[in-house]
Each structure stands twice: as C-alpha cells, then as structure tokens.
C-alpha cells in the first residue's frame, strides 16, 4: 500500500514539475530575450517587470479558437500535440534530482529509457506536419524527421561515452560513479550531447523545421490556441529535459560543494544555468541552412563523439 501511495506521490510530483518548470523556463526566455534584445513589450504586463506576461499569454492562447483545417486529418491533427508533449513527461520520471531516491522512478536502463522515449517526440512533429494538409507543414515535418535521425546518432554516442565511463546505463548509477574530473574528461561529449539535443528540440540555431522565414512555422503552421500552446510547452519541457540530462550526465547532477542534502538544488541550478545557455544561444546565433545543419551533424558532431568515445575508452582502460 505504501509503495502504491509512494508511487502515486512521485507521479504527482513529477507532474507538478512537468507543469511548472517549463513555464518557468518560458517566462525566463521572455525576460532574458527581452533584456538581451532591449525589447520593451514583455516588461509591462502585471506591472513589476512584466511578471504577468506568461499569464497573459496563457489567457490569450486559451481564448483563441481551436481551428482544425478542413482538409486536415482531424484526429491526428488533434492528437499530435499530446504525442509531442507526453514523451518529455515520461522522461522526467527517470531523471534523478537528488541523491537517495530523489527521483520519479529509478530505472535500470535509465539513460537508455530517456533517450529512447525522447526520440518518440519527433512523431508529434511528423503527425502535425502531415495532418495539417499544408505543404509548409509537411516540409516542416519532413525536415523534423531528417534532423532527428541525423542528430540522434551523435547524441547517443555522446551518452554512450558517459555510460562507458560509469560502467552503467542507470542514471543514478552514473551519478553515483561521478567524480569532478569527469567534467573536463567528458566535456567534448557534453558539448556534442547538448548541441545534438538542441537540434532535436529544433531550438535555434537548429530551427530549420520551423523556420518562419521559409516555411511559416513548419509543422505548427496550422495550429492555434491551446494546441499551439501545447507545442510550445513541449518545447520548453524539452529544454528542461535536455538541460537536466546534460546536468546529470556531464555536470555531475546533484554533486556540489555543500551538503549532500542540497543535491536537488545543485541539479536545479545546473539545469537552469543550461536553460539560460539555451536561451542565450537563441538570441546569439543565426539559423543554420539545411545543408549546413546536416553537414554539421555528420561531419563534425559524429567524429567528435567518436573521438570522445575513444578517449573515454582509453582513459577507462588506463585507470582500471
């Protein structure tokens, strides 16, 4: 009984995190971008520093009419946002926040699970792109698929490097085996992982699938109202998951200078710091062209990941 209750509690906690943290990241993006770009608009809503801008956005999205295009495949069109969102919710379950079972569900193959489920998210983009009966949407969906397939490989290789270093694919196991010098050791892998993750999330500068200047808004062109908000939410949830994972795998997760009880704080700090980097990158770098995108993955990231893998292997053999 207690296990069931505990499981329920954990699920609720994960859900709460899932529902709040992406919003926080979204609000942060608003603010950070506004500051970086000197934009004044988001500074007014709610008075102080425009704190209610996010609420205003939510209200706006909720008010908008939910339109399904006449030529669209209705059910898939409506299902697509959920498919895009749900994997991140599932992934969150497996990410450890603090030591001692401070995790939704510790999985034996946690890293594997996380990567596998994250890969499903692209199905949402594809479904949305195809079901919209819009050629821009279709192009966006196809671009999403191509991009995902291209960047899945370096991401997996970089993650494999960490798993190799730790000798396990369990996320808690990886964190348990963490030493501070892993950070410089795995830094290249971290870079590859983070970059590939950005590409999978279709965040700038890898946002070719939603390139508004070319194909309006890619797969999401036809979406309005809450469904569009769900896609945005899934993007922020994706940022959250990616940053948390990067923090866990490459930055030591709950490991920090102070007491072990503050491990969850370290995790959150690292996650949000990385989220800030994601936002920072968005306003810093211009969008890559499609061919540049692909070349970057195949000719730069994958060799880099392989080099990291080799380095990890060598060091692992040396120290053992």
Distance CA 10, CA 95 (A): 12
Binding mask 200-219 for other proteins (x = CB under 8 A): --------------------
Minimum gap (Å) between residue 78 Cβ and other proteins: 13
In terms of CB distance, is 29 or 200 closer to other proteins? Answer: 200
Single residue of 14, 17, 34, 72 touching other proteins by CB under 8 A:
72
Choose among 139, 104, 302: nearest CA to 220: 139
Closest CA to 230 of 1, 14, 23: 23
Contacts of 113 (CB under 8 A, 6+ apart): 91, 94, 107
Question: 138: which 2 tokens?
Answer: 């279709």
Q: Residues 108, 273, 295, 300: which binds other proteins (CB under 8 A)?
A: 108
CB nearer other proteins, residue 39 or residue 289: 289
Binding span for other proteins by CB under 8 A among 16-24, 49-57, 105-113, 242-250? 105-113
Residues 6+ away with beta carbon under 8 Å from 228: 61, 64, 81, 220
Tokens describing residue 36: 């970086």
By CB under 8 A, how many residues form the interface with other proteins?
34
**Cross-strand bridge partners of residue 103:** 96
Least CB distance to other proteins at residue 36 (A):
31
Least CB distance to other proteins at residue 73 (A) = 5
The Cα–Cα gap between 4 and 16 comes to: 18
Residue 232 structure tokens: 């945005």
CB of 118 to other proteins, least distance (A): 8
Choose, by CB under 8 A, the member of 116, 177, 232, 283 that binds other proteins.
116
According to the binding rule CB under 8 A, does residue 115 interact with other proteins?
A: yes
């Amino acid at each position: 009984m207690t296990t069931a209750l505990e499981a329920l509690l954990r699920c609720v906690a994960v859900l709460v995190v899932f529902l709040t943290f992406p919003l926080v990241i979204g609000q942060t993006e608003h603010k950070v971008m506004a500051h970086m770009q000197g934009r004044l608009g988001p500074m007014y809503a709610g008075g102080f520093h425009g704190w209610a801008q996010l609420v205003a956005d939510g209200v706006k999205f909720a008010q908008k009419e939910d339109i399904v295009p006449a030529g669209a495949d209705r059910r898939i069109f409506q299902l697509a946002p959920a498919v895009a969102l749900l994997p991140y919710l599932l992934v969150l379950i497996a990410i450890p926040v603090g030591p001692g079972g401070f995790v939704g569900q510790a999985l034996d193959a946690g890293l594997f699970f996380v990567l596998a489920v994250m890969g499903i998210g692209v199905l949402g983009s594809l479904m949305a792109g195809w079901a919209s009966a819009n050629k821009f949407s279709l192009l966006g969906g196809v671009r999403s698929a191509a991009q995902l397939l291209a960047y899945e490989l370096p991401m997996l290789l970089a993650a494999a490097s960490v798993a190799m270093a730790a000798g396990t694919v369990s996320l808690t196991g990886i964190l348990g085996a963490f030493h501070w010098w892993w950070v410089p050791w795995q830094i290249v892998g971290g870079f590859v992982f983070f970059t590939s993750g950005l590409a999978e999330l279709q965040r700038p500068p890898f946002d070719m699938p939603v390139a508004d200047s070319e194909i309006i808004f890619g797969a999401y062109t036809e979406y309005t109202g809450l469904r569009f908000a769900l896609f945005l939410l899934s993007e922020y949830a994706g940022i959250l998951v990616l940053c948390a994972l990067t923090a866990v795998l490459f930055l030591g997760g709950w490991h920090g200078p102070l007491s072990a009880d503050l491990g969850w704080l370290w995790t959150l700090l690292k996650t949000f710091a990385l989220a800030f980097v994601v936002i920072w990158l968005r306003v810093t770098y211009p969008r890559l062209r499609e061919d540049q995108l692909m070349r970057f993955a195949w000719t730069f990231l994958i060799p880099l990941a392989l080099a990291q893998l080799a380095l990890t292997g060598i060091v692992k053999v040396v120290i053992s």
